[in-house]
Copies of this chain bind each other. A is one copy, B any other.
Amino acid sequence: MSDSIEELIIKAADPSEDRERWLNTIQDEETIALLLESVPIEQRLDIWRDLDSERRLPVLLNLRHDPRETILDAMSLSELDALFDNSDAEALIELAETLPRRLVERALLRLDDEQRRYFEQAREYDENETGHWVSQKLLMLPASAKVRDGLRLLRREIPRLTQNIFLVNRIGSYLGAVPINSLVGQPDHLPLSELLDEECPTLSAEEDIVEASRKVQFCGYPALPVLEPSGKLVGRLDVVTANEVIEEEFESKLMASAGLDENEDLFAPIGKTIEGRSVWLGINLLTALLASWFIGLFEATLESVVALAVLMPVVASMGGIAGSQTLALIIRGLALGQVNETNARQLLHKEFKVGAWSGLIWAVVIAVVAYWWFDSMLIGAVIACAILINIVTASISGLFVPLALKRMNFDPALSGAVVLTTVTDIVGFVVFLGLGTLVLV
């Protein structure tokens, strides 16, 4: 798949190619979306204009938010109207995340009553709730339905990933799921309620969409019913939607480590990019200046023993790496619910031991290097102590920084590394230069 996108990018850059023709040869809209994200904005809009109008909506739905916005911004009102005419409630719920409110209202006018009701229902739930993302493409029958009714339903085209027929009572309350294959060989007049799959789990519309998606991913059913607290069936969450949610969640974790979000556009406008990235750079500047301020306390020492200035990055970075290893382990543990205040003491015990032993080993190695380099036993001794103390501090901080951040309701995956590096930098510099002042000056 990745090869073909590469080829497409090459073709897109080649003016001699007949773009409209080869765009039509691309079968799936996900690939076109990937292509659009992979080219500069001007070229992106050129390709967009050559795209068949009926393919525009699915391509748009496959784009990440930021690139999607670059396209929506460039569309005229009449083009948007054409788009909305092809749209159903489900598509509009997805688009509403990037559309200005005014345009959402405009699009709503073009939906029929049923679709508008569906859209309004989704809007009753927050974007992080399952109810916002359910699909109403499902098989549903009244509680009194018989096998014959079920078979009649199956003769029509059925939605993707459908394994069950859901039974509801007169007020729409969910009664249970009947597996399609269980209808085979049953008498026509048998009530479907006698064929219920007692094990099929249900989801709550108010539950967090990421948790609900994880349940769908591993439940062994291609889709699960979603219920209101009252028991009313509001729709279902299928495994493709769940996988999209989890993929986005994962991307956001990867990008968070650099202070970016998952919707970042490869070819975002320069101004927007600079603005987006400046928050993280600003925070970093403050922590770096804080570290510098601590170094500044030891100006006199640095002046008299310049070797300390030369070796500073070694102390700080060994602490940073040791801490980030514990941090990665703890952040995963927190995400899985495996780390909490009960076993924190046991983890502290283990991480302290690991830090102490590994600190000792690296202290010796680095002391030998420093001795050999600066021909001074004392410098070797000072850096050895500093490395040992900083690696132990780092291992312990790698455990407590994310726990503390979580307690204060910050996301440890986003801010853990910055806080931790600040701690290890400052501890490293202060211990190293402080010891140097005591011993060497």
- Give the residues in chain B near A264, CB-CB below 8 Å: 329
Residue of B nearest to A322 (CB): B281
Interface of A is mostly: helix
Stretch from A16-24, A169-177, A334-342 at the B interface: A334-342
Stretch from A48-56, A110-118, A255-263 that touches the partner: A255-263
Query: In the docked arrangement, what's the CA distance between A255 and B162, Å?
Result: 36
Flag A316-341 by CB within 8 Å of B: 1 or 0 each. 11100110110111011100111110
Q: Does A26 contact B (CB under 8 A)?
A: no
Q: How far is the CB of A128 from chain B (nearest CB, A)?
A: 16
Query: Is A280 an interface residue when CB atoms closer than 8 A count as contact?
Result: yes
A328 touches which of B255, B307, B309 (Cβ 8 Å)? B255
Write out, one digit per residue, whether chain A residues 247-285 have a CB within 8 A of any chain B CB (1) or not (0). Answer: 100110111011110001011001001100110110011
Contacts of A373 in B (CB 8 A): 296
The reply on A96 being an interface residue by CB < 8 A is no
A285 in contact with B365 given A222-B239, A303-B306 (CB within 8 Å): yes
Chain B residues whose CB sits within 8 angstroms of the CB of A325 once the complex forms: 258-260, 277, 280
Nearest chain B CB to A386 CB, angstrom units: 13
Q: Which residues of A contact B (CB under 8 A)?
A: 1-3, 5-6, 9-10, 13, 30, 34, 37-40, 151, 154-155, 158, 160-163, 180-181, 183-185, 211, 217-218, 220-222, 239-240, 243-244, 246-247, 250-251, 253-255, 257-260, 264, 266-267, 270, 273-274, 277-278, 280-281, 284-285, 287-289, 291-292, 295-296, 299, 302-303, 306-307, 309-314, 316-318, 321-322, 324-325, 327-329, 331-333, 336-340, 342-343, 346-347, 350, 353-354, 357-358, 361-362, 365-366, 369, 373, 425, 429
